[in-house]
Amino acid sequence: MTYTMIIFIFATIWTSYAHEIKEKGLCTWLLWFIYSFITFSAIANHAVCMITSVKPQSLQGPSCPKCQNPKDRHVHHCSRCNTCIYKMDHHCFWVNNCVGLYNQKLYILFLTYIALFTSISAALIFLSKILCSFSNDLNFCYLQESWVLDLCKMISLIICFFFFAFVTYLLTEQYDSLLTNLSQIDRLKNLTVNQPVPLKISLEKIFGGKLSIMWILPIAARKLDD
């Protein structure tokens, strides 16, 4: 369903601007490439987040009585996945997987790209109406008057507003987790930390190392059980 909605909005924007993109040259193509990269990245991070294993690796300690996996204080058993998750934040139905240390980067990137995608898409829909009011391009304006395209734009706007608000709320939760170094599970257990980890250190751990191009790519973080 997520991919269908993204593709629907993407197709609506392409239909609205295809004539302009083909006519306006390199700069317009560059902007379209950036928009396409954001769209693809949202889909890719969702897909990789969904299939990434978040089970603990190479841990020493007593076994979980429910799934027999090694367990320590950082491990929580998820009843929905029926397995233990390393540094579990929550079980996310949207990605059909638990969010833990190994895929939290992908989850945060997915939310970020969805926020960018929906906000840019909504802006482009409004812009198409504004451009038509000032443009002398009859082909562009004639296309915008199609009732089918108008209906698609209205549906796309509703989806964009809903998902932008939703992912903004989820990103706020993730930001709080990074600042406090406590997952949602930790907070539910009323756990505290003696000294919160600086945001920079939290990001480096979640994203798998120092700031680099790898931070924005749909690649799971290194599997370090520490």
pLDDT recorded at residue 3: 93
pLDDT recorded at residue 129: 75
- The residues pairing with 84 across neighbouring beta strands, listed in sequence order, are 77
**Running DSSP on this structure, what letter comes out for residue 168?**
H
Spatial CB neighbours of 185, under 8 Å, sequence gap ≥ 6: 76, 88, 89, 90
- The pTM (predicted TM-score) of the whole model is 0.86
pLDDT at 169 over 80: yes
pLDDT tens digit string along 173-200? 898 888 877 777 777 777 666 566 788 8
pLDDT tens digit string along 57-113? 666 667 777 777 777 767 888 888 888 888 888 888 898 899 988 899 999 999 999
The candidate with the shortest Cα–Cα distance to 128, out of 152, 98, 164, is 152
**Mean pLDDT, to the nearest integer, of 200-213?**
84
pLDDT tens digit string along 9-64? 999 998 887 766 666 667 778 888 999 999 999 999 999 999 988 777 666 667 77
The Cα–Cα gap between 140 and 118 comes to 23
Q: Can you count the helices (H) and strands (E) in the chain?
A: 7, 4
Spatial CB neighbours of 113, under 8 Å, sequence gap ≥ 6: 38, 41, 42, 45
- To the nearest 10 degrees (0 to 180), the angle between helices 147-180 and 104-134 is 140
Q: Rounded to whole angstroms, what are the CA distances from 2 to 6, 62, 159, 162?
A: 6, 39, 11, 13
Local structure of 85: helix, strand or coil? strand
Hunting for tokens 């751990």 — which residue is that? 205
Spatial CB neighbours of 189, under 8 Å, sequence gap ≥ 6: none
**Running DSSP on this structure, what letter comes out for residue 77?**
E
**Running DSSP on this structure, what letter comes out for residue 213?**
G
| Residue 224: band (very low, low, confident or very high) from pLDDT cuts 50, 70, 90 | very low
pLDDT recorded at residue 133: 66
- For the chain, the first-to-last Cα distance in angstroms comes to 36
Residue type at 63 in one-letter notation: S
The candidate with the shortest Cα–Cα distance to 91, out of 54, 120, 134, is 54
- The residues pairing with 75 across neighbouring beta strands, listed in sequence order, are 86
State the catalytic residues: 92
